[in-house]
Amino acid sequence: MKKPPLLSVNQLKTHFYLDKNRVAKAVDGVSFTVSPGETVAIVGESGSGKSITALSIMQLIEKPGKVVEGSIHLHDKEISNLPSKQMTKLRGNEIAMIFQEPMTALNPVFTIGNQIVEMLRKHRKMEKKQAKIEAINLLKTVGISRAEEVVNEYPHQLSGGMRQRAMIAMAISCNPKLLIADEPTTALDVTIQAQILDLMVEMKEKFNMALLLITHDLGVVSEYADRIIVMYGGQVVEEAKAKELLRTTEHPYTKGLLESLPNLKEDVDRLGTIKGTVPPAYDLPSGCRFYDRCPFAMEKCKQTNPPLYQINDNHTVRCYLHEKEDIK
């Protein structure tokens, strides 16, 4: 019997009110689920809406942004309209987030240990001495060998990879059921990127968490994700199990992302590119959002935005090339 989803996002819309005449529809009708223990990756270029989706789930959207429509359920509980105090309690205990640049997420005037201790005292009600011991254990758990020294050091004293490990230690300190990682490897060297991704998957297994991984790099997540969601122009344009999406890519945008990845098995002079740029969220086309960049664009694509078509039970795509399929 299939387990009910841990996280369920339904028709989420997050808009930014820039001025009287401009509204940026950063997230425009996004729906997806994350099952217990599952790793789901949301992929797309900068401006596709993937990070705003994550921040919307966490209720971290700041003015002039606002979640204007849709529902977000965690354990069947609606959390999109939770009062601030209840949402603060939920963060850390049930759901945690790792940010793209730990140097801006960590407080520069407090030691790493103080920041982890604060989490443990607030959410797990530990005494200060016990929390300090637990902080050291957590740093060891995420692969920091000299944890006894690092616990007394400040963020600026650590390398990028070490700071990200410290962020992961903070995120797992209260045993959340869902860990959201927003571009967690972007600022790191390639060799460190793999180490951090391996660590997150290891922590996911060890603490029985689900992982929602936000990234612009389809190659990074291909071997880590169970399921991949591709976003473009604030909408989901393709979703499938990872292996199926990589084997039978259906949306021209996803194909373009795949073709732009280097492949050691093939000898190519130049990598593929996708012409143009993502349309700004305040000036989205009335038709398909990928119309201006698509090599298969038809007149119909310019007029109306296609719905999501169901290729099979596990695969959906937003493209008129699949109009014969069932509408989801």
The pLDDT-based confidence of 324 (bands split at 50, 70, 90) is confident
Strands 210-215 and 178-182: parallel
pLDDT in tens, 182-203: 998 887 888 888 899 999 999 9
The predicted model scores a pTM of 0.93
Rg of the chain in Å (alpha carbons): 21
Cα–Cα distance, 321 to 12 (Å, whole number): 25
β-bridge pairing 326-327 and 95-98: unpaired
Read off the pLDDT band of 1 (50, 70, 90).
Answer: low
Termini Cα distance of the chain: 22
Convert the pLDDT of each residue in 59-115 to its tens digit: 999 999 999 999 999 988 999 989 999 998 898 889 999 988 777 789 999 999 999
- In CATH terms, the fold of domain 7-39+48-83+215-327 is Rossmann fold (3.40.50)
Domain segments of the chain: what residues?
A: 7-39+48-83+215-327
Rounded to whole angstroms, the Cα distance separating 70 from 49 reads 15
Q: Over the stretch 115-153, which tens digit does the pLDDT of each residue have?
A: 999 999 988 999 999 999 999 999 999 999 899 999 999
Q: Quick check: helix, strand or coil at residue 265?
A: coil
Contact 202, 170 (CB under 8 A): no
Confidence class of residue 271 from pLDDT cuts 50, 70 and 90?
low
The pLDDT value given to residue 283: 92
